[in-house]
């Protein structure tokens, strides 16, 4: 007997292909172009092992979030899961970690786009990109999905081409892969895995769009693994090619390792193609991430955790238009004022905090709801391990942001009671 469709405040227009496209569009973004270099600084030749560790943690996170999203298909993702399964404070912490971390990521990505598209005026180009993509999201989520799918196809093709060409080139040296675990110890390996995990975080966008997916109980658990596995294969291909051609030292010193590896292995034409792919990729992740952050803000506002004005839904497009505009304005202001490195410094810790709450929420599911018995505890331990092994200043900054959010929330709640 077919189950009834869960009631939704937003329009359910997304199918399996749309959901996979949004997830891939979010993952094949700045992370694949930027994460391998800082990871190589921490782990040396262990960057591929770090990628594998990050992939395993991401897989566990995907299982927990997909199971939760299927059982509880609401806008807001882990914010909504934590609020219902654990309590309002856990939900707020997840929502705050996601919103703060992703706004920082959006700022860094917009600046990275500007550096590729208009190097002389990166901040202006970043603001223009945020404004245009906010307008696309305001036009409706179906348009967002189609744009994300097209971007993912183009970028995926460029990355597969670059990875295959570098691995098979005369410049590739197998000795550059050894030792496989690197020479910087467990701390460096786990820290590098934490950095590489940043590139996998996009699949959460599928869960945050739970109220806009058709047949979420079947669609979401299928879409998340497909997007994650596809992204992992592409990451492994491109990172292996860059390491074979550049070596760990060259990879660590490069500001654009995929471009440098493509130029050295093949020539300028492939380097130009990779730059074009990077530009499209960053636009794709900006598009889907702007949508995801706005929907978390919408869900938090509907629950009274953020100003109620953000809980409005547009009568024609059925999108949370005020939350979408507010996110675009905040990101634009940060693009004009915050350095790129400061914007990305704490993102990984905040994202790992978000997923830790996802695993705690998944452990509250019943056996009938298909509680992920192995992935949830494994993922929770993995998130904590990767987070604590990030550089100390990043950990401190991330914890300060989390504490500040909880403190402000506590003060506001006390004032409301007075």
Check which CATH number belongs to the domain holding 63 and give it. 1.20.1740.10
Is residue 107 assigned to a domain?
yes
Q: 116 in a domain, yes or no?
A: yes
The one-digit pLDDT tens for each residue of the chain (418 residues) are: 444 454 556 566 677 777 787 777 777 777 787 788 888 989 999 999 999 999 999 999 988 987 887 788 776 678 888 988 999 999 999 989 988 998 988 887 888 788 777 878 989 999 999 999 999 889 875 555 666 677 778 888 899 999 999 999 999 999 999 999 998 899 999 999 998 988 887 766 666 666 677 777 777 778 888 888 888 999 999 999 999 999 999 998 887 888 889 999 999 999 899 888 888 888 877 887 888 788 878 888 888 888 889 999 988 878 899 999 999 999 999 999 987 767 766 788 999 999 999 999 999 998 888 888 899 999 999 999 999 999 888 888 889 999 999 998 898 788 777 6
Q: Is residue 5 part of a domain?
A: no
Does residue 9 belong to any structural domain of this protein?
no
Q: How many CB atoms lie within 10 A of CB 90?
A: 20
Write b or e for each residue in 191-226: b if 16 or more Cβ atoms lie within 10 A of its Cβ, otherwise e.
bbbbbbbbbbbbbbbbbbbbbbbebbeebbbebbbb
d(CA 222, CA 215): 11
Question: For residue 214, what are the domain limits?
Answer: 16-364+371-413
Count of structural domains within the chain: 1
Indicate whether 251 belongs to any domain.
yes
CA–CA gap between residue 147 and residue 150 (Å, rounded): 5
This prediction has a pTM of 0.81
Is residue 164 domain-resident?
Answer: yes
């Amino acid at each position: 007997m077919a189950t009834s469709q869960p009631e939704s405040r937003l329009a359910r227009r997304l199918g399996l292909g749309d959901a996979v496209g949004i997830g891939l569009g979010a993952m094949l973004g700045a992370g694949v172009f930027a994460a391998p270099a800082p990871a190589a600084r921490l782990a040396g030749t262990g960057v591929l092992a770090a990628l594998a560790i990050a992939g395993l943690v991401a897989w566990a996170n995907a299982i927990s979030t997909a199971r939760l999203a299927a059982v509880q298909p609401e806008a807001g993702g882990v914010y909504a899961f934590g609020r219902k399964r654990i309590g309002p404070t856990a939900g707020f912490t997840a929502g705050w970690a996601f919103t703060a971390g992703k706004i920082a990521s959006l700022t860094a990505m917009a600046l990275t786009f500007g550096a590729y598209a208009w190097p002389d005026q990166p901040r202006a180009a970043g603001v223009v990109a945020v404004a245009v993509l906010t307008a696309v999201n305001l036009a409706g989520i179906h348009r967002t999905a189609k744009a994300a799918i097209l971007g993912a196809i183009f970028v995926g093709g460029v990355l597969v081409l670059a990875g295959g060409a570098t691995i098979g080139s005369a410049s590739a040296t197998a000795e550059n892969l050894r030792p496989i675990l690197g020479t910087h110890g467990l701390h460096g390996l786990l820290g590098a895995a934490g950095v590489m995990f940043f590139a996998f975080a996009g699949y959460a966008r599928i869960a945050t769009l739970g109220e806009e997916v058709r047949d979420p109980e079947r669609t979401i658990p299928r879409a998340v693994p497909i997007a994650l596995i596809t992204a992992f294969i592409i990451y492994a291909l491109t990172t292996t090619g860059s390491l074979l051609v550049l070596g760990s030292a060259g990879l660590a010193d490069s500001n654009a390792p995929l471009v440098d590896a493509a130029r050295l292995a093949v020539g300028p034409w492939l380097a130009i193609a990779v730059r074009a792919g990077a530009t499209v990729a960053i636009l794709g992740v900006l598009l889907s991430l702007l949508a995801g952050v706005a929907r978390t803000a919408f869900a938090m506002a509907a629950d009274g955790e953020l100003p109620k004005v953000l809980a409005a839904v547009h009568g024609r497009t059925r999108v949370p238009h005020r939350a979408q505009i507010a996110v675009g304005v905040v990101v634009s202001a940060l693009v004009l004022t915050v350095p790129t490195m400061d914007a990305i410094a704490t993102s990984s810790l905040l994202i790992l905090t978000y997923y830790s709450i996802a695993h705690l929420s998944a452990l509250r599911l019943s056996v009938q709801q298909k509680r992920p018995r192995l992935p949830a505890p494994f993922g929770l331990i993995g998130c904590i391990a990767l987070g604590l092994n990030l550089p100390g200043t990043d950990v401190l900054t991330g914890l300060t942001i989390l504490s500040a959010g909880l403190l402000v929330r506590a003060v506001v709640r006390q004032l409301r009671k007075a």
